[in-house]
A and B are shown apart, each in its own frame.
Chain A
């Protein structure tokens, strides 16, 4: 079973609307969690990083939350733009060996 599960697998939203992506993980021990944005044909680019003690982190219109007790994270996109169309990958890093566990990504398509 994958250590990082993301939902929904894909979604289509209207330009200007908000959406929330979910990430549940079982990685332990936990070091930090990152959200990456991957445009089609490009490498992943880091959006946010959150450590154990952080609950919320924002990067422009992107806001990530973390509940380390329930091992859940979310990425909220506010006032979506066409350029937000991408795959959003949740990555959880283990404490100690710094191994990365990748989710399969949330595929977001923003339509006008």
Chain B
């Protein structure tokens, strides 16, 4: 039981590049979500999903896309990376919206 696995742990992108942050959980949790964490700010919700095939926008969705084709996976796509997207990204999952388990994070730098 690995919990929530995020890859990669570190990434450097050039402005305008695209990439996908991977998130996988093996706990059969219905709820999954993506957050970004910036210095001096609390975690902010980017996108979330309450089940396979269902996604919705969070607080700061612009510049990001998600999909949820399976219960286990919830990838986050950066369409055209910008320096403002430099941040630490956390994926989290929960059985029914309670007791969220967080991944270890992806530290992204956009230059």
Contacts and interface: CB of A to CB of B under 8 A. Distances in A.
> Majority SS of interface residues in chain B?
loop
Given A44-B90, A93-B97, A100 B45 contact: yes
A89 B92 CA distance: 15
B105 A41 contact: yes
A46 B40 CA distance: 21
Given A41-B105, A43-B90, A43-B105, A100 B100 contact: yes
A30 interface: no
B42 interface: yes
Interface in A95-111: 98-100, 102-105
B55 interface: no
A104 B90 contact: no
A46 B101 CA distance: 8
A45 B42 contact: no
Interface residues of A, number: 21
A2 interface: yes
Contacts of A45: 102
Interface in B12-69: 31, 33, 40-45
Interface of B: 4, 31, 33, 40-45, 90, 92, 94, 96-105
CB-CB nearest 7 A-B residue pairs:
A98-B97, A43-B102, A102-B42, A102-B43, A104-B42, A43-B104, A44-B102
